[in-house]
């Protein structure tokens, strides 16, 4: 009987969504001064500056929501992450898979699956683990193969590396929309369409040109999703679960109990 394996590659997935807009020179980057207002630039120039700003962030709040093909609960990610791999937040696994709270500090990770997560697993193993944990966090090494996929979602450095190393692409058409507002903040929307999929990125029009939100609709297979970025360069909270809310044993030991 194998133990629970929590997997999530949402951070890399979010990176590929960003790359769908920031890669390649469909329109050609051209030249622009660093102090040019962002809304006066071409679509590709804005995309390039947004990519540079994102790569330069030391930390951020990253959220994703991906619609499920079967209409069940969406897959979600809500994490504050930094370049050192520290994070705090939650991952929703979609459908009837439940959700998991996660805190990672250095090489140590704490995870607390909810009741639905345990119900979705093997009934005997899930019930045993739920009883042992009794609502507490499971503490282990970030390198544990059963936790590494989840803790890997905390790696902002990898996310930024994927952005920076992506090869040039000429897929689809990239266009710039009219300056507008998003949650009260001035933004410039960029839209890339390709094979029926529409990806819209809202770039901050004041301050650093960070991407603030990306919406994905259509395509085949259809994959409607939203990625949000905020709280740039604000540190990840350092609070970790206290000992009385933690089971200090690894997954392998729990399985053997």
pTM (2 decimals)? 0.82
- Angle, nearest 10°, between helix axes 43-56 and 156-165? 150
Q: What is the mean pLDDT of each run of 10 residues along the chain (257 residues)?
A: 45 62 48 74 91 92 83 85 94 85 94 86 76 86 79 82 59 89 96 86 95 86 84 96 83 43
DSSP 8-state secondary structure symbol assigned to residue 43: H
Q: Give the pLDDT confidence score for residue 206 in this predicted structure.
A: 95
Contact indicator for 54, 160 with CB cutoff of 8 Å? yes
Fold of 10-241+243-256: outer membrane lipoprotein receptor (LolB), chain A (2.50.20)
Q: Give the pLDDT confidence score for residue 168 in this predicted structure.
A: 46
Task: Measure the CA–CA gap between 109 and 164, rounded to whole angstroms.
Answer: 27
Contact indicator for 79, 227 with CB cutoff of 8 Å? no
Task: Measure the CA–CA gap between 242 and 236, rounded to whole angstroms.
Answer: 17
Q: Give the pLDDT confidence score for residue 25 in this predicted structure.
A: 42
């Amino acid at each position: 009987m194998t133990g629970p394996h929590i997997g999530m590659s949402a951070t890399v997935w979010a990176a590929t969504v960003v790359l769908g807009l920031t890669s390649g020179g469909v329109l050609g980057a051209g030249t622009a001064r660093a102090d040019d207002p962002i809304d006066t630039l071409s679509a590709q120039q804005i995309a390039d500056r947004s990519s540079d700003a994102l790569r330069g962030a030391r930390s951020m709040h990253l959220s994703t929501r991906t619609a499920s093909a079967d209409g069940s609960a969406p897959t979600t990610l809500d994490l504050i992450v930094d370049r050192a791999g520290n994070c705090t937040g939650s991952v929703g696994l979609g459908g009837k898979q439940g959700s998991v709270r996660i805190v990672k500090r250095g090489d140590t990770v704490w995870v607390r699956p909810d009741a639905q997560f345990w119900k979705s697993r093997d009934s005997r193993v899930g019930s045993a683990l739920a009883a042992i944990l009794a609502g507490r966090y499971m503490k282990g090494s970030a390198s544990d193969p059963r936790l590494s996929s989840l803790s890997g979602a905390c790696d902002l450095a990898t996310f930024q590396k994927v952005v920076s190393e992506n090869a040039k692409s000429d897929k689809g058409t990239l266009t710039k929309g009219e300056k507008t507002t998003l949650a009260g903040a001035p933004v410039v929307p960029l839209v890339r369409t390709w094979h029926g999929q529409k990806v819209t990125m809202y770039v901050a029009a004041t301050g650093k040109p960070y991407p603030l939100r990306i919406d994905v609709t259509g395509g085949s297979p259809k994959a409607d999703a939203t990625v949000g970025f905020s709280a740039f360069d604000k540190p990840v909270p350092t609070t970790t679960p206290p000992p009385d809310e933690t089971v200090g044993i690894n997954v392998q030991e729990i399985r053997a109990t």
